[in-house]
Structure 1
Amino acid sequence: MHMATTEIFLIAMLIIFSLPYLIWRVGQTDYYAPLVVVQIITGILLGPGILGRAYPEYYQFVFNPQVVQSLNGIAWWAVMIFVMIAGIELDLKKAWEHRRESSITAGLALGVPLVFGSIAALGLLGYAGWMGPKAQSWQFVLGVGMACAVTALPILILLMEKLEILRQPIGQRILRYASLDDIAIWGVLAVILLDWERMGRQLGFLLLFGVATILYRRLMQGLQERDRWYVAFIWLAACAFAADWAGLHYMVGAFLAGAVMDADWFNQQRMDFLRANVLMAVMPVFFLSTGLRTNWALGGSAVFLVAAVMLFASVAGKLTGIHIAGKILNWGPGEASIIGWLLQTKALIMIIFVNILLDKQIITSETFTALLLMAIGSTMLTVPVVYPKLQRVAQLIFKTS
């Protein structure tokens, strides 16, 4: 029976929204795997390496090139909005007020796992199939190392809400550390993506962006909030286009678009509502399209082994860095462990980061798959490890400013 592309697209959307929800709700996985994680895992299961291999005809029917292209368009816009919101919510004023503590902690939280991950990436250089065809060795090593160092700020917020510490002093401290690392992540990405052939374009983009930001901020300060939301989306599209045209990738533009906006321009409840609805209504499409990019060509055992090595580098590096910070800053018992485990959460931002590396052919789809598995493992560990630790030291932590 012949079906129109629209009908097949709607079948794909039905699968995307129903299957993860049923697994999450019926399986009651929320403690170990929040809905976001289940959606990512389902995307991998629906990808070419699993569903495509088991049922190739069905896979090619549902996820044909026309449908995949339509899904990708939704995913691009969804993730741009999500990254813009992450940029808006960066609280640099608070970080500046506590600059010594924040800079020491954020620096060690990012730097140590970056070193651990880069060492692991250096080991992969000796084997074919992991470094992308357009990458130089330093780009691959730095990219994989940074993937191990990333903290997923938006997912971190959701997990801390679940643990009921977001508004507590320790939760606000963790947000400061994660916000500084978020800026560093996008800065390193811009360095990795530097294109000497497009250097003129990239410099031109940065100069134009600086001037446009001054004018944009003046405009936004004079608008009512309802107009600010609409103008923000226009600004997002313009910044993403300009960054992509310059060779920096549209996601860098999306982050910059949000980073130059002030959070107090917008009602916090509406911001939370928008983020929650983007996560619910359109981000599942991004998770699916991410899963469709997984590849097991080098063998499942090799991919899982590399994922395990990267997970160890990520977790061990983050915990080591945070414990060093705790000793320097004289934190109380148990604080470093809780903060370290929360900051090692990967999920969305790391997946966005490695999607960009894959787009630019700095990593292969096999490396992408290993890093995706690492992100899932990292995020699934967070709540089960942190919750009992919080129960043991709750009274001490909540009294700490």
Structure 2
Amino acid sequence: MHLSAPPIPPLPAHQLFVFLLQAGLLVLLAVVCGRLAVRLRMPAVAGELCVGILLGPTVLGSALPAASEWLLPRDAGQFHLLDAVGQIGVLLLVGITGMEMDMALVRRRGTTALGVGIGGLVLPFGLGFAVGWAAPESLRPDGADPLVFALFVGVALSVSALPVIAKILTDMQLVHRDVGQLTLAAGMLDDVVGWILLSVVSAMAVGGAGGAGLVLPLLATALVLAVTFGVLRPLVNRVMKAAEHTTDTASVVGAATAFVLLSAAATHALGLEAMFGAFLAGMLISSGPRALRARLAPLRTVVLAVFAPLFFATAGLRLELDALADPTTLAAGVVLLLVAVVGKVAGVFAGARAVGVGTWESVALGGALNARGVIQLVIAAAGLRIGVLNATSYTIVVLVAIVTSLMAPPVLRWSMRRVEHTAEEELRLRDRSVLDWKPAGQSPDAHV
């Protein structure tokens, strides 16, 4: 006689209460601190990370350890509840980033953008790899492969953050300028290559850095790209064209969310980074009708207003700023920041000059593409999750992301004063469809 298994008991009442209290408090404080950061002319994400610092071991854990232990108990099961919600949020955030890709822009400025993008990838990656290889062992988790750690640092330093760049250019009214258009195109190329590299390095971290550990992720990446653009792209286009005539926004939002999460699950099942699948899903959605994509505004609003602040506040809980009191760690952080800035700015400058871009335009491109923002924060979280980063190196990478984002506007202001307007830029300024280009659904204080 077959006896059915006993039902799984529900979440204990106290555990559910603590989770709801944690989530509500983190979102509320993230919104408040994010708005405060914007008023201080800083990225909203800086304020949201401060929430985690205030409630984490750095402040609350040191000042009121008993209250910290009650609110944020050192229980893996309890913390994993926040992590699970944060993972959904970051996957949707990455998917939205993919949805904002304008491949027509990349094609229009293809050759020049390719030169700028390659320069902004190769030099930072090479310098980051060298610094990661020479980094002290205290920055690597126990048992972490030095080669994988060095590759991961190279990837973290080579990325640019398209949401950051688009927000800065929009705020500074530079989207219509040649520099703004070229920055967006090169940033899109950097994003695509960055997610591919992250996925390969993540797979190596799990499967090993040997021959099979490198070949299998590359083969899996090639398979994913072939299926995405050879099989799924025409299917998604047909579905989106058919859905264009529907008035049911809820169904469009639900289907897009499911597609992003299932794509993330597919790449994760292949041993690649789940965020790679989410980004590709967003890219496929971006190729659909603009009117249909506009209906995804509710998804963007919820993700940017709730899930993203919760993720960044949770990420801040893992920051241990007291680790910077150690001279070796502080020196490593300063070196990593200098390498990140010099590598990106010099690499972009060299790449831009090689394809005929002017001197001051090249400086402006380097300053803009140096902003890493949310993309590097997401990469840092991935590194911590797969065991490539420890708490100390995670803190350093997050701080580099914030500092480089704060550096971009002043560099752009300084360099763009020396760049004259062209007749083509004036015509583009009168074209409202270009002037108004910005990530749909973002408010003036959107995450950077």
TM-score by length of 1: 0.87
Q: 2:95 aligns with which of 61, 84, 88?
A: 84
Alignment of 1:65-84 (within 5 A): 65=75, 67-84=78-95
- Is 1:16 matched with 2:26? yes
Contact 1:84 1:236 in 2 (8 A): yes
In the TM superposition, what whole-angstrom CA distance separates every residue of 1:281-319 from its partner, at most 9, and x where no partner exists? 221110112112234685533433322211111111111
Residue in structure 1 matching 2:269, options 245, 253, 257: 245
| 1:321/1:253 CA distance change after superposition, 3 Å | same
Residues 1:116 and 2:159 are matched in the alignment: no
Give the match for residue 409 of structure 2.
Answer: 383
Q: Any idea what the Cα deviations from partners look like across 1:76-110, whole Å, max 9, x if unmatched?
A: 11111111121222223332332221111100011
Q: State whether structure 2 residue 185 is matched by structure 1 residue 148.
A: no
Deviation string, structure 1 residues 189-231 (Cα, Å, up to 9, x no partner): 1221333479499489737666455544433332226444332
Paired letter, 2:403: G
Structure exhibiting the larger radius of gyration computed from Cα positions: 2
Q: Alignment partner for residue 218 of structure 1, among 225, 238, 252?
A: 238
1:265 maps to 289
Q: Give CA deviations for 1:230-260 in whole Å, capped at 9, x if unaligned.
A: 3222211211112222221321221122223
Q: Is the 8 A contact 1:303 1:369 kept in 2?
A: no
Return the alpha-carbon distance in structure 2 between the equivalents of residues 48 and 220 of structure 1: 47
Give matches, 1:67-216, under 5 Å.
67-124=78-135, 127-133=136-142, 135-194=144-203, 195=207, 196=212, 199=216, 202=220, 206=224, 211-216=231-236
1:287 aligns with 2:298: no
Contact 1:80 1:254 in 2 (8 A): yes
Instruction: Specify whether residues 307 and 399 from structure 1 end up closer, same or farther in structure 2 by C-alpha distance, changes over 3 A only.
Output: farther
Contact 2:52 2:317 in 1 (8 A): yes
Contact 2:165/2:369 (8 A) holds in 1: yes
**Residue equivalent to 1:54:** 63
**8 Å Cα contact 2:49/2:316 also seen in 1:** yes
The Cα RMSD (Å) is 3.0
Runs of 5+ in structure 1 lacking a partner?
A: none
What SS does structure 2 have at the residue aligned with 1:362? coil
Q: Distance in 1 between matches of 2:422 and 2:52?
A: 40
Cα distance change on mapping 1:384 and 1:233 into 2, 3 Å? same
Q: Secondary structure at the match of 2:333?
A: helix
Residue of structure 1 equivalent to 2:433: none
Take 1:228 and 1:21, find their aligned partners in 2: how far apart are those partners?
27
Q: Is the 8 A contact 1:84 1:258 kept in 2?
A: yes
Name which of structure 1's ranges 151-160 and 386-395 shifts more when overlaid on structure 2: 386-395
Contact 1:37/1:379, CA 8 A, preserved across alignment: no
> 2: distance between equivalents of 1:25 and 1:88?
25
**Deviation, structure 1 residue 134:** 5.4
Separation (CA, whole Å) in 1 of partners of 2:65 and 2:290: 47
Gap change, CA 1:298 and 1:230, over 3 Å in 2: closer
Q: Is contact 1:129–1:298 with CA below 8 Å preserved after alignment?
A: no
CA–CA distance in structure 1, aligned partners of residues 88 and 400 of structure 2: 25
Q: Supply the distance in 1 between the matched residues of 2:125 and 2:180 (Cα, whole angstroms).
A: 23
Mean Cα deviation higher: 150-159 or 215-224: 215-224
Distance apart, 1:37 and its partner CA: 1.9
The answer for unaligned runs of 5 or more in structure 2 is 1-12, 429-448
Task: Give the Å deviation of 1:121.
Answer: 1.1
Change in CA separation of 1:384 and 1:277 when aligned onto 2, cut-off 3 Å: farther
Q: Is the 8 A contact 1:116 1:313 kept in 2?
A: yes
Distance 1:213 1:92, change over 3 A: closer
- Distance (whole Å) between structure 2 residues aligned to residue 335 and residue 237 of structure 1: 39
Q: How many correspondences in the alignment?
A: 396
Measure, in 1, the Cα distance between the counterparts of 2:132 and 2:337. Answer: 12
Go from structure 1 to structure 2 and tell me whether the alpha carbon gap of 1:229 and 1:10 turns closer, same or farther (over 3 Å shift).
closer
Residue in structure 2 matched with residue 232 of structure 1 by the alignment:
256
**Of 344, 365, 368, which aligns to 2:370?**
344
On the 8 A contact 1:134/1:362 being kept in 2, the answer is no
User: Do 1:132 and 1:361's aligned partners in 2 also have CA atoms closer than 8 Å?
Assistant: yes
Are 1:300 and 2:325 counterparts?
yes
Aligned CA distance change for structure 1 residues 58 and 303 (closer, same or farther; 3 Å): farther
Following the alignment from structure 1 to structure 2, what is the Cα–Cα distance between the partners of residues 38 and 219? 40
Q: Quote the Cα distance in structure 1 between the aligned partners of 2:422 and 2:235.
A: 47
The verdict on how the C-alpha distance between 1:213 and 1:325 changes in structure 2, with shifts beyond 3 A counting, is closer
The answer to whether the Cα contact below 8 Å between 1:108 and 1:321 also exists between their aligned partners in 2 is yes
CA distance in 2, matches of 1:234, 1:17: 24
Identical-residue share of aligned pairs (%):
23
Rate the CA distance shift 1:72–1:381 in 2: closer, same or farther, 3 A: same
Query: Contact 1:134 / 1:360 at 8 angstroms: preserved in 2?
Result: no
